Amino acid sequence: MTSQQASSKPDPPSPSASFYDLSDDEEGGYNTITHTSTTRGVKLLYSKSKVYVHPTPSAKDNIPGFIALVQQKPAPLSPDDRPNSSDSSGKRTNAASYLLAWVPEASLAQDELSAYVKVDLKDGESPPKQTYLVPPPPVATSFEESPVGPYSFSLPLSSIYSIHVRPPSLGWWYGSIVVNTRAGSSLPALFFHDSECESTILQKKKRARESFDPFGESGELFWGGDEVIRWLKRYVMVERSTAEPSIYLIDPSEEDRLGFGQGRKSLEGKHQTVNPDMKKPNQKNPPGPGMDPLTKALKETRWKILEQLSKVTTFTRRTAEDLANNKNIPPQVRRLIQNPEIQTLQDEFDSAKLYLARWAMTIAEQSEREKRQRIWTARDALDSEETSVGDFEILDMEAGKMTLADSKRRPVNLEEWESFFDSKGRLQVTVDEVKERIFHGGLDPEDGVRKEAWPFLLEVYGWDSTEEERHAYMNSKRDEYVQLKGAWWDRMIEGAATPEQEEWWKEQKSRIEKDVHRTDRHIPLFAGEDIPHPDPSSPFYSPDGPGTNVHLEQLKDMLLTYLEYDTPPSPTTSSAPHYQTRNPHPQNLGYVQGMSDLLSPLYAVFQDDAVAFWAFVAFMRRMSRNFVRSQVGMRAQLSTLDQLVQILDPKLYVHLQAADSTNFFFFFRMLLVWYKREFEWSDTLRLWESLWTDYYSSQFHLFIAVAILEKHRDVIMDHLRHFDEILKYINELSGTIELQEILFRAEGLFRRFEKTIEAVDRKNTFPEPSGGELRQRRPADDADGKNQDSSTSAIATGTGNPSSTAAGSSSTLRQGLPARPRQAPAQQAQKGKAKEVEKRAEQVVTPELRLLLSRKIITFDDEEADVAKPRASGLKD
Amino acid sequence: MSPRKKVLLKVIILGDSGVGKTSLMNQYVNKKFSTSYKATIGADFLTKEVTVDDRIVTLQLWDTAGQERFQSLGVAFYRGADCCVLVYDVNSAKSFETLDSWRDEFLIQASPRDPESFPFVVLGNKIDLGEERRMISQKRALAYCQQRGQMPYFETSAKESINVEQAFEVIARNALAQEESEEYGGDFSDPININLDQERDGCAC
């Protein structure tokens, strides 16, 4: 049916309508009318368009047609051929004169087509008042016999034994029905393409308008197949099998009822008896007619969708109101609950299905978590142990080991931070101890401790410095910042040495400007734009530039100052008495998108441009490899993720392979700006400070990626089969990820990974790599607290007895003084030796994977050797 | 009546950063404009179902980061494209001058069977900023498009929703024509005809 045809209203009939549209008050009189093309017409009672046969798996072979219920002249004229619902015997006698038919669109002449369309669009429950006669569809009991072409059929209702009904569901995009004849054959499945069927769309809309209820009579989402069952019910007995709820029996005998109706309840949903050759997409124990549990629940629930959703995953039930008020519920779901305009639901339902699956999971976990604050994490980690991964040995994974005392997960506040330092402002506990606390607890977001702690985490300050040293250091860095900033400022105003340079800097400036104005504008600090430019002498000043504020201007200045710092001095500028960069390794990155995202949280915390600038320089030491032209850092990390997923979750990996998704491109954004687009602002800050500790690994952010993937592995494996679907799904996780849980999973994954590598090494009877790159962690041997990471004992003992933990740490603390610098020269010296060991291990554990056990920051310089020359491109970047 | 199938058309939107790729896409699909889009990192897409000459097609519009160095990793989403939209900002000469590079970049990465006939559509965006800010005249842009195999050209404003609908209609039409001109090999590998969840058009994305 075309849209033009659909828009023509069937009622009242126009004078120019098809000659079949003969107005006829007498129900029984139709058979007297004859017309030219056929000797005898049948009365079209109901029809529905866009019902397809799918002869091959390829969508391009689908054949659109009409399903219809027609009435032929009954042999002995019954005095009342209108059905009488209370009279089942009447129905029985009618069954032979009513035919269920399917005809391909292509086989219909234009006037026939228009009759089918009109009946289809007829608004109302009963057959049209005026009679539409059509040529009788070819009567055939099996589709091979049909003269009109394969697949078309019409069957007297009396010869239909049952109809197998499969509503649309996650696995079955189109709902379908299969007619089983009394002779024992099954006709081809008819698929209802509801989204193309004008009448179904109208019926859905009408339902939504009238009753705010888009669901069908049985509480299921309304679809085209419902209509067919409704038609049939007017003329014959239709009974839903209790043994096979997807089977509707037509005029069942007592025997049928016994055999099929009530008889075999125990087998419910276990297997298909009628169409053994009909493969279901979801073969693992479907609970209903071809539906997965979620969809089934969705359909049964009507307005209690969410309440039921939590049941789906067998977690606690919560009322819809509770959920509606919960700010963690994604807006789309909240809209479903709060918005009385069901239209929205109807329209969004299809696309919402997948997301509902995800949210069901999230909601369930959330309520579970609220119920048992402490236990969930441990169990969760154990669950994730079981879900994914192979049969390699899992050590030390008992719940106890993973459950830290509350005191360890509390944020470090300013008071606790200050207690780490002595009167001279020198650290008096071990670095690892501080890092362990921050890794697990984070820093208090309110009391300003971040301002103090972040420069240490980013290694702007040495951990063994005194207050005085830090003060002096920052003073000199402030001067340096002012000089750097002055250099480009002057150049912008006086002009650069060459036109090329001039052009380059202008270009950089405009890129920075563009991005800063779209960076974190939802944060109050950066939101305002009513202030005219604070400094008309600034190179960024433009009378008709966009509204700005002083903080945005600071971001721009810092980013250009970073370029000044990062760009090698050009020989041609030597004449100008400009500041020469003291940066020993300028990388000449230019401004690259993502930089503004990395800078803005630093500035927001410090609110001091010089400190924020040097913090950014420090942060960029580990991030710059992602921004270089060759993208070497991104490539290396995506490839490491590939290996990591292979080793941690081979099943998922195979699925991703089949989905052509092992480029792991969907992690690109997460890796480039360290999850800033996935988490809320406050969570981002919390995550970054954990990552900066390098507590387990300098590459812990990769475990965050795997944790996110693992959390959604079931949805991905069950529902997503293509790269674009997976990319979209992962992109849309943004704003829905629970940080604490992901941190916890990532920790579990890291430990599992570590154990795997150890096990592999042991199997290969390697000599234990001695220290250096590979951190061995065997808590059992660590009882004496010597020669080991204090962090390990903190975790191992932290579970049962908090006081012993404290004692343990403080003893380590004294031993540890002065705190050992993280990149000890000894470590570098070991590097060669470790490399040798790695070489031998390569067959099993790649160097990339082994690097994940290292706490040493990977910088661009490390990877420079491997830099692939970027393909030449006309795009200047 | 000829049998009709639902078609997925893949459209790649390219152009310098900040020319309004994300905004155009959002204006077209969601009828929304926001000044607070973030710079696109990585890639994302939106879908929209439209009717082209009586056929229902699903447009899958791919939005990418506008900085060249990010393109090299994203080959995956170039493949199988049916149309490429080149966007520039009429107020930025630079963004116009790079159109050729974006075009070449696309042809290299996507390697369509017949590069000569592959459909491109050019959009000059941000015309709402006014004539005094404009750097590229319509005449110049038209001449350019004429030279490069008569690429259709539209001047648009994602902000004011000017010409967006019209442009994407042409994009959809050209993408459909491209899709139809390409012979696809038989996808009969799966003999079970009702194994719908294998089917490409069924996806919820």
Question: Mean pLDDT, to the nearest integer, of A5-18?
Answer: 41
Question: Mean pLDDT, to the nearest integer, of A303-320?
Answer: 37
- The answer to the question of residue A461 being in a domain is no
- The residue type found at A867 is V
Question: Mean pLDDT, to the nearest integer, of A527-545?
Answer: 71
pLDDT at A280 over 70: no
Q: Do B68 and A873 touch (CB under 8 A)?
A: yes
Whether the link from the prior residue into A818 is cis, omega within 30° of 0, is yes
pLDDT at A532 over 80: no
Residues A547, A652 within the same domain: no
pLDDT at A399 over 50: no
Residues A708, A612 within the same domain: no
Give the three-state DSSP class for B79: coil
- Domain boundary (A244, A260, A276) is at A260
Question: Mean pLDDT, to the nearest integer, of A457-484?
Answer: 95
Percent helix, strand, coil in chain A, to 5, is: 50, 10, 40
Question: Mean pLDDT, to the nearest integer, of A418-432?
Answer: 95
pLDDT of residue A215: 52
Nearest CA in chain B to A730: B44
Mean pLDDT is lowest, of A103-112, A282-291, A710-719, for: A282-291
A176-221 pLDDT, tens digit each:
888 888 877 778 889 888 878 888 777 777 776 665 554 555 455 6
A697: left (phi over 0), alpha (psi -120 to 50) or beta: beta
Residue range(s) defining the domain that contains residue A760: 374-408+630-765+844-868
B20 pLDDT tier (thresholds 50, 70, 90) = very high
Q: Provide φ and ψ at A867, rounded to 5°.
A: -55, 120
- Domain boundary (A242, A260, A278) is at A260
Higher pLDDT, A91 or A498: A498
A772-819 pLDDT, tens digit each:
444 444 333 333 333 333 333 332 333 333 333 333 333 333 333 333
Helices marked H in B15-159 — which ranges?
21-30, 75-78, 93-97, 99-110, 138-147
> Which segment, A15-29, A624-638, B81-95, B176-190, is predicted with the most confidence on average?
B81-95
Q: Do A173 and B199 touch (CB under 8 A)?
A: yes
The CB density around residue A34, as the number of other CB atoms within 10 Å, is: 11
* C-alpha separations of A109 from A116, A368, A704 in Å: 11, 61, 62
- The answer to the question of residue A278 being in a domain is no
ipTM above 0.90 for this complex? no
Residues A137, A240 within the same domain: yes
- The residue type found at A741 is E
- The answer to the question of residue A183 being in a domain is yes
Report the residue from B39, B42, B193 with minimal CB separation from A56: B193
Mean pLDDT is lowest, of A214-218, A511-515, B71-75, for: A214-218
pLDDT at B136 over 90: yes
Residues whose CB falls within 8 Å of the CB of residue A774, separated by 6 or more in sequence, listed in order: A834, A837, A850, A853, A854
pLDDT at A258 over 90: no
From chain B, the residues in CB contact with A172 under 8 A are 196-197
Element (H, E) at A484: helix A467-494
The CB density around residue A611, as the number of other CB atoms within 10 Å, is: 21
A262 pLDDT tier (thresholds 50, 70, 90) = very low
Cα of A464 to nearest chain B Cα, Å:
38
DSSP string over A32-63: G---SS-SS-EEEEEEEEEEEE--SSSGGG-E
Q: Do B44 and A673 touch (CB under 8 A)?
A: no
Mean pLDDT of chain A, nearest integer: 71
From chain A, the residues in CB contact with B100 under 8 A are 874
| % of chain A residues with pLDDT over 90 | 30
Domain count, chain A: 3
Nearest residue to A208 (alpha-carbon basis) of A303, A330, A305, A331: A303
A contact test, residue of B196, B198, B199, B201 with most A CBs within 10 A = B196
Q: How many secondary structure helices (H) and strands (E) does chain B include?
A: 6, 6
Mean pLDDT is lowest, of A263-272, A502-511, B75-84, for: A263-272
Residues A645, A561 within the same domain: no
Residues A254, A384 within the same domain: no
CB A199 within 8 A of CB A49: yes
Higher pLDDT, A582 or A621: A621
| % of chain A residues with pLDDT over 70 | 58
Higher pLDDT, B158 or A824: B158
Residues A709, A848 within the same domain: yes
* C-alpha separations of A656 from A475, A664, A703, A845 in Å: 52, 9, 17, 21
Residues A620, A682 within the same domain: no
Element (H, E) at A387: helix A375-388
Residues A498, A528 within the same domain: yes
Nearest residue to B89 (alpha-carbon basis) of B120, B48, B129, B62: B129
Residues A544, A655 within the same domain: no
Q: Do B76 and A663 touch (CB under 8 A)?
A: yes
pLDDT of residue A638: 93
- The answer to the question of residue A520 being in a domain is yes
Higher pLDDT, A144 or A501: A501
Residues A662, A606 within the same domain: no
From chain B, the residues in CB contact with A186 under 8 A are none
Mean pLDDT is lowest, of A74-88, A188-202, A492-506, B5-19, for: A74-88
pLDDT of residue A458: 97
CB A117 within 8 A of CB A48: no
- The answer to the question of residue A683 being in a domain is yes
Residues A511, A380 within the same domain: no
Give the three-state DSSP class for A675: coil
A588-634 pLDDT, tens digit each:
899 999 999 999 999 999 999 999 999 999 999 999 999 998 888 99
From chain B, the residues in CB contact with A673 under 8 A are 41
pLDDT of residue A860: 78
Size of interface A-B (CB pairs under 8 A): 186
Mean pLDDT is lowest, of A233-237, A412-416, A701-705, for: A233-237
Please identify, in words, the CATH class of the domain defined by B7-179. alpha beta
- The answer to the question of residue A179 being in a domain is yes
Residues A601, A663 within the same domain: no
Structure tokens at A8: 């023509």
pLDDT at B203 over 50: no
CATH of the domain at A143: 2.30.29.230
The CB-side HSE value for B100 (13 A sphere, CA atoms) comes to 9
HEC secondary structure over A309-370? HHHHCCCCCCCHHHHHCCCCCCHHHHHHHHCCCHHHHHHHHHHHHHHHHHHHHHHHHHHHHH
Nearest residue to A500 (alpha-carbon basis) of A586, A564, A572: A572
Residues whose CB falls within 8 Å of the CB of residue A536, separated by 6 or more in sequence, listed in order: none
pLDDT of residue A669: 94
CATH of the domain at A727: 1.10.472.80
